[in-house]
Amino acid sequence: MSVAPPHGHGAFRGHARERRMALFGGTFDPIHIGHLAVARAAERCFHLDEIHFIPTGRPPHKHRAGMASYADRYAMVALACADHPRFIASLAESGAGHFGREVFYSVDTVRHFKQKFHGPDTHLYFLLGADSFLQIPTWKDYETLLNLCDFIVASRPGFRVDALRLVIPPELLARPGSAHAPLDPHAIALRRTSIYVLDTVSSRVSATQVRGRLDRNESIRGLVPPRVEEYITKQALYR
């Protein structure tokens, strides 16, 4: 189910190609090779020019005791992105003083990027995992969010695309035969945007798994980038 960019996204406007940018938010506690595998797959399939990794400050849904500080999580994201020219560590949800103490909502972050990079030659995507998308009805102003930009949903083993439709309000869906409908048969056309499914990425690493291994004093080699592993060791995180 890996998909090509929507029709027209690779087109040239005069001599300037459209700039394709994805926002990839999360706690990144810590960032691991699974996150990077999803980002690389999205970059390849959608010909993305930039992927902005956005560590959240105080996550509205996922706060837990023992979470690494915003400064540490951002530092690990920056290290993980350092060798990827199209990957950008973003401070968009760092808040005042870049302390990461404020709650940010995805709808506001997307609005921020749309205002900052406003223009007909920039196309914005929101990248997230399938399980996160299935929770989207619990997000602030999620109907507005679904209308703001296209989504790239990273699948997982056993995931069915039809499950995505179950959490989308029917009134947001495009009418059959709509001119807006994307060419990809696996995509879901909304009235203003589209939802694309990124085929299953082979990595099954999770942040919970990484933290658990560290708590048991087990090696995390191969689960996180080497620079991130070195940072975790030096800062004695998750122990």
- Residue 218: its pLDDT value, please? 97
Point out the least confidently predicted range of 69-73, 85-89, 199-203. 199-203
Domain hosting residue 136, numbered range: 17-204
pLDDT of 3 strictly over 60: no
pLDDT of 238 strictly over 50: yes
In a domain, 235, yes or no: no
What mean pLDDT comes out for the span 173-178? 81
pLDDT of 147 strictly over 50: yes
What tens digit of pLDDT does each residue of 182-204 get?
667 679 999 999 999 998 777 78
In a domain, 150, yes or no: yes
The domain that contains 115 carries what CATH number?
3.40.50.620
- Residue 210: its pLDDT value, please? 98
- Residue 84: its pLDDT value, please? 98
- Residue 62: its pLDDT value, please? 62
Tally of residues, the chain: 239
Q: Which long-range contacts (CB under 8 A, 24 or more apart) does 98-101 make?
A: 98/70, 98/74, 99/57, 99/70, 99/71, 100/55, 100/56, 100/57, 100/58, 100/69, 100/70, 100/71, 100/73, 100/74, 101/57, 101/58, 101/70
What tens digit of pLDDT does each residue of 41-53 get?
999 999 999 999 9
- Residue 65: its pLDDT value, please? 75
More confident residue, 11 or 39: 39
Tell me the pLDDT of the chain averaged across its residues. 89
Instruction: Select from 70, 69, 40 the least CA-distant residue to 55.
Output: 70
- Residue 97: its pLDDT value, please? 75
pLDDT of 13 strictly over 50: no
In a domain, 108, yes or no: yes
In a domain, 184, yes or no: yes
What mean pLDDT comes out for the span 215-223? 97
In a domain, 1, yes or no: no
pTM, two decimal places: 0.90
The total domain count for the chain is 1
Instruction: Select from 134, 95, 132, 109 the least CA-distant residue to 52.
Output: 109
AA letter at 151:
F
